[in-house]
Amino acid sequence: MFAGTIIGVSVAVNRAYPELDLDALLNASGRAVAAQDGSDANGCAGSVTNAPFGTVADYTNYPTPQALEAVPRVKQVYAKLDMIGGPLPEAPSYIYNAIHDELAIIEPVDQMVASDCARGAVIDYYRDPAGEHLTGAGQYVMPALNYLADRFSGQPMPNTCPPTPPRRPASSPPPKRNHKRSGTKRSAHRRAPHARHRRSHGRRRARR
């Protein structure tokens, strides 16, 4: 259903990363949709209406989404867009995602938020249990504006990240043992055979 949106997003990605070579991935129908998506001003909504109810097989040279994703240059380019574990946001963030959003799938968002929280980010994350992509877009607007207004007015920053456990101080390594024997012990050890020799010699003389 959302093949048009995939093409519209890929048009933008191809502009930033020409090595994607989008035209070679698309068939004639897909190239026509890409040209339309790249020239109109309707954004993501236009990309849906430009190719309603289409599939990957309808617009690309690949039979399934999995086959398209397996193309090496597709994997390499989209890996550069992966935000999970990426640079940590310096400013506090408000993140909204509907649990049942059919376009902005929530699982990667959960992973990104968990990664940023674990590294000390300040995030107000709302997982909308009722919305999907279209209704979520409307429900997101006012909370986002209120969040910005609160930041500019100096209100405390809400943070839904779980508390980060304190780090244990690094333990100092145990002191090294000095395995060298002292000079006194070595000297005593060396002298010991001579002393025993003198004592035994004295006993032999006494017997004589």
Domain ranges of the chain: 3-79, 93-152
Contact criterion met (CB below 8 Å) for 201 and 193: no
Report the distance separating Cα 68 and Cα 74, nearest Å: 8
Flag whether pLDDT at 144 surpasses 50: yes
| Mean pLDDT of the residues in the chain | 81
Q: What are phi and psi of 64, to 5 degrees?
A: -140, 160
Residue with more model confidence, 68 or 135: 68
The winner for highest mean pLDDT among 21-25, 32-36, 87-91, 186-190 is: 21-25
